[in-house]
Structure formats: structure tokens, C-alpha cells
Amino acid sequence: MRILLIDDDCALTDAVCAALGAQGFAVDVCADGADAPFYLSQKIYDAVIVDRMLPGCDGLTLVARLRAEGDHVPVLMLTALGRVGDRVDGLDAGADDYLTKPFDMRELAARLRALLRRPSERAEEGVLRAGALTLDASQMTLTGPAGTVALSRRECDLLSVFLRSPGRLLARSVLLGSVWGAEADVEDASLDSYVYFARRRLAAAGAGRIVTVRGVGYRFEVTP
């Protein structure tokens, strides 16, 4: 799962990235509220963590604008302002949850997992697009220039992770955590096997490729 963390506290963002990364999340960091709309416009994040007090544009304004644009990506507001009125303001702006600083990393991860279990309200729930490829998770199909191919559930889950992060190097631990779960006891060979299957599905659909980065993981590349 790919998370956008919008916070200008470097020590905090480093700690959050390390903690969530260990549990299988891929985390991108944006340190300025003025830059956040660009990240959000990419529509590649499964959830957003946003600080309320930011340079450039405050968290309340960011979330309110996001909701006004019809984007229902889950948002967890993270802030030192913990009075009841502050929490009400955050939730009324459109945040799905509100966690005050200081906090336990285990609670942050648990709240994220709870948000990600909620039904999506996006217009095209379960549909991902990258270049000439369209992945329909509800139907478990991959469509490209050469046609439509059927996927197994595990192939669909793996390709979903790749299509959400085109061009990004994904560590093996991130892929294992995203597809099988952070607590699952899965051998590396299982990941390699499903990457092989995913490559065959991409070839059958006629677009995209998965590149091996030895000793690190894999990268999905969009091709015409």
C-alpha cells in the first residue's frame, strides 16, 4: 500500500517512514502544503497522513479542497492540536480519522489499516490505469493493446501494487507486505514465482514490464 505523508517535521517523517516501511507500506513524503496538491493529483495513494499545521497551506484547507474535488482517498490528520474543537474541525473538513502527537507508531499503523479496510467511495472503485493498461480488481482482469487476460487473486494484488507505483523501485519487503500482509510467513521464492506470472500476464496484455533490481526488488515500467 502506498501512503502520502504530508508533514514538515523531518525527525517525525523519518520515524514514520521507518515504522510503516517495516510493516510493508511504501511512504512518500511532502514537506510543504503548497506542494501537496501536485502529489495528490497523481491519484496513486491508498491513504494520506497530513499534519494540520504546515508551511504553504494548512492541513484543514488541503483536506477541504480534496473533498471539494470529489476525491475520497482516506485521510488521517496528524497534529499536536488535540482539543475536542480541534478534532471536530479536522473531521468536519473531511478527515476520516484524527491522531494527536505524540503517538505510538503501532497505533498509527493500526489506524491506517482500519481506514484501508473501509469500502472505497471512488467513482471507479477497483480500477487502476497505467499507460495502456487497465486493471479491474473487481473482475480480476488486465486489459491492454493485445486484449484482456484473467488474473488469479494473488496476481491481481501484485499487479495492483505495481500499477499504483509506475517507475518506482519497490523493495521485496514492501511487495511481500502489501500482497501477503506484514505478518505473513512467506518465502521469497513465492514472490519470485508471482512476479514471473505477472510478467506473463503483462506480455499477454501487450504492455508494461517488470524489471528486476538485483538484491533490492522490482520496478514496474510503463511501455507504449
Q: What is the residue-level pLDDT of the chain in tens, covering all 224 positions?
A: 788 999 999 999 999 999 988 887 888 999 999 999 988 887 778 899 999 888 999 888 999 888 888 788 889 988 887 677 777 888 888 888 888 888 889 888 888 888 877 654 443 456 888 889 999 888 889 999 999 999 998 899 899 889 888 888 888 888 887 787 755 667 778 899 999 999 999 999 999 999 999 888 999 998 76
For the chain, how long is the longest CA-to-CA vector?
56
61 close to 67: Cβ distance less than 8 angstroms: no
pLDDT for 135 equals: 92
Alpha-carbon gap, residue 151 to 33, rounded angstroms? 39
CB 20 within 8 A of CB 112: yes
Own/partner contacts of 176-182, CB < 8 Å, gap of 24 or more, are 176/24, 177/23, 177/24, 177/25, 178/1, 178/24, 178/25, 178/26, 179/154, 181/24, 182/22, 182/23, 182/24
pTM over 0.75: no
Of 116, 165, 160, 120, nearest to 136 by C-alpha is 160
